[in-house]
Amino acid sequence: MNAYLIKKPVVTERSLDLAKREHVYTFEVEMSAHKGQIKEAVASIFGVKVLSVNTVVRHRIKKKTGRKRLNTVRPKTKKAYVTLAADSHIDLFDVGGEN
């Protein structure tokens, strides 16, 4: 089991809407994880049937913050969009019913 590959779920308005409408759940994953490993990890942890996995790498972000306008760097991150079968769902995301 590769549970260490999944860092945390991404809970935003867009990700919750995708989960409710299209059964697509979003997770932040390790940079070294590939699609097959992510598919196995989600299937084993949550006990669901995974149809496909899409990954996106967000490059590091340089920003100036604070009163002295100090340079800060947000690290490079990787997100995985996991599509589940229509009869599967993850209770971790509270998507509610149809509107």
Question: pLDDT category, 89, cuts 50, 70, 90?
Answer: confident
Q: Please report whether residue 9 resides in a domain.
A: yes
Q: Which residue range(s) make up the domain with 61? A: 3-84
The domain total for the chain is 1
Instruction: Give the model confidence (pLDDT) of 38-60 as tens digits.
Output: 999 999 999 999 999 999 999 99
For residues 98 and 68, give the distance between their C-alpha atoms in angstroms, rounded to a whole number: 47
- Closest by CA to 14, choosing from 95, 99, 92, is 95
For residues 77 and 58, give the distance between their C-alpha atoms in angstroms, rounded to a whole number: 5
Q: What is the pTM of this model?
A: 0.84
Q: Please report whether residue 54 resides in a domain.
A: yes
Share of the chain above pLDDT 90, in %: 76
Residues 6+ apart with CB under 8 A from 39: 50, 53, 82
Q: Please report whether residue 92 resides in a domain.
A: no
Q: Please report whether residue 74 resides in a domain.
A: yes
User: Residue 91 has what pLDDT?
Assistant: 84
Place of tokens 């993850």: 90
> Are residues 90 and 46 in contact, defined by beta-carbon separation less than 8 angstroms?
yes
